[in-house]
Amino acid sequence: MIDGTRALAVLPLMRTDLVGLAQCMAIDADVFPYSSIPLGLQAGVHIWVARADDSTRVLGFVAASARALSFYVHGLAVASKDRRQGTGRALLDTCVAGARGYGLRRVVLHVGTGNQAAVALYEAAGFVMKRQVIDFYRAGVYAERGAYEMVLLLA
């Protein structure tokens, strides 16, 4: 539920949904200092969007692609006014279900060491910190350049 009144729908972003893609790109630009969504919906990249069931407005997205036996999360972002309402967790759960559906063994992502809210979300979903990567982000992107590599093993 969002705002206690509306149900949340998380569905694949269709290649023909240019308005949805533009909304994802706007959220992406607001949240990240670089693009986490490959422009043009490249082959092999899966993007799911969250919308309130009574709205066409995108609340957030998750983008991932298969790499070997892993699903790598390129980015997960929720519009600032829609945070802390379960949208991020619903997107993450959908992404994990997608990885399972493809028969993959793990979901992998990188998150900035200073992004404690995201780290808490991933830990609550069962991800564990595999390692810390020094200088993962180039200079000037974030105040802290390090990232945690987090992994969720799938049964």
| Whether pTM exceeds 0.85 | yes
Per-residue model confidence as pLDDT tens for the chain (155 residues): 444 556 899 999 988 888 998 999 999 998 887 787 766 567 788 999 999 877 789 999 999 999 889 999 999 999 999 998 999 999 999 999 999 999 999 999 999 998 999 999 999 999 999 999 988 887 777 778 888 999 999 97
Total domains in the fold of the chain: 1
CB atoms within 10 A of CB 27: 23
Residues 6+ apart with CB under 8 A from 88: 60, 76, 78, 118, 121
Query: What is the residue range of 51's domain?
Result: 8-153
CATH code for the domain of 99 = 3.40.630.30
- Report the candidate in 45, 44, 49 with the shortest Cα–Cα distance to residue 18: 49
